[in-house]
Amino acid sequence: MALNYLYKMTSTKIKELQPKCNLAFIPLGPTEVHGPHLPLMTDFRSGLELCERAARKLQEEGIESIIATPVTYCAADVTNVFPGNTSLRVETVEMLLEDICLSLARSGFYNIMVVSGHADPGNAAAVVRGIENAKKKNNKVNGTYSAWFDKGVVEGGAAAYFNGIHPTYDLHAGESETGFGLMRYPELLDKAQIASLKPNYEGEFLFERIGAGAKDFIECGAPDAYFGDPAAATAENADKQYDVFSDYVVDEVRALLG
């Protein structure tokens, strides 16, 4: 069964969908530097991938959904030291998510799951505030922010499908995201760079260092903008990882719908 993409549909088709669908996914991620080897679209493509996988699994349960236009800019100041990085203020992210949620609710898609491929704590907090602001303005809005990254990576939920020895430190442009790129757009990856990259497990201290005031990835221990082991990546493992990650999203949707 085909998925429903808001940005690919006519208004007439959306109207036809409304009676059988009140659930929307918002894929989210910045245009952000991911090491010397991955394209800057990595995070929002990752978020979209998880929305698509979750939507297909929910269709098998008879639950229809619509996938909103991906948000392709976020707060990503920690990577501003690298060329090409694009970042929003957290206030902008908050207002953006509020407006998107309210817009979706006006069309009847008031159950909203935000799925981010970007784990920046400040950005996540801004997204949550935006959702909460929307709830205050429209009490039909029933939205939440997926914790798939915490469960699947930080807490090791998908650790069995990593080749690297420290999968819980694989926090940015490492094995998982490199594997995702190999799976979805291998022609855009710099494979010579991947082969040359040594494991960087400073991700163990990433959130601690950010909390202590580190301003960028260089100060956090990632002078080349990656944490983890990119050279350990395979497309096959990434497929298994993202299957686990999307299971967490499906569970969260079930809880959201009650």
Domain ranges of the chain: 6-257
Ordered strands of the 23-28 beta sheet: 66-67, 23-28, 111-116, 142-145
Average confidence score pLDDT of the chain = 98
Angle at 24 between CA 174 and CA 76, to 5 degrees: 35
Let me know: does 87 contact 44? Beta carbons within 8 Å. Answer: no
Kindly state the average pLDDT of the residues 120-140.
Answer: 98
> For 19-78, how does the pLDDT look when each residue is reduced to its tens digit (9 = 90+)?
999 999 999 999 999 999 999 999 999 999 999 999 999 999 999 999 999 999 999 999
Kindly state the average pLDDT of the residues 136-141.
Answer: 98
CATH code matching the domain that covers 6-257, chosen among 2.60.40.60, 3.40.50.720, 3.40.50.10310, 3.40.50.300: 3.40.50.10310
> For 188-226, how does the pLDDT look when each residue is reduced to its tens digit (9 = 90+)?
999 999 999 999 999 999 999 999 999 999 999 999 999
Let me know: does 102 contact 26? Beta carbons within 8 Å. Answer: no
Cα–Cα distance between 35 and 45 in angstroms, integer?
Answer: 16
* This model's pTM is above 0.75: yes
Has residue 1 got a pLDDT over 90?
A: no
Rounded to a whole number, what is the distance in angstroms from the first to the last CA of the chain?
24
Tell me whether residue 12 is exposed, middle or buried, using C-beta atoms within 10 angstroms of its C-beta: 0 to 12, 13 to 18, 19 or more: exposed
> For 174-184, how does the pLDDT look when each residue is reduced to its tens digit (9 = 90+)?
999 999 999 99
Please report the pLDDT score of residue 74 as a whole number.
99
Cα–Cα distance between 70 and 25 in angstroms, integer?
Answer: 9
Structure tokens of 171?
Answer: 């926090």
The band of 103, judged by pLDDT with boundaries at 50, 70 and 90, is: very high
Cα–Cα distance between 32 and 165 in angstroms, integer?
Answer: 26
Tell me whether residue 26 is exposed, middle or buried, using C-beta atoms within 10 angstroms of its C-beta: 0 to 12, 13 to 18, 19 or more: buried
Kindly state the average pLDDT of the residues 133-160.
Answer: 98
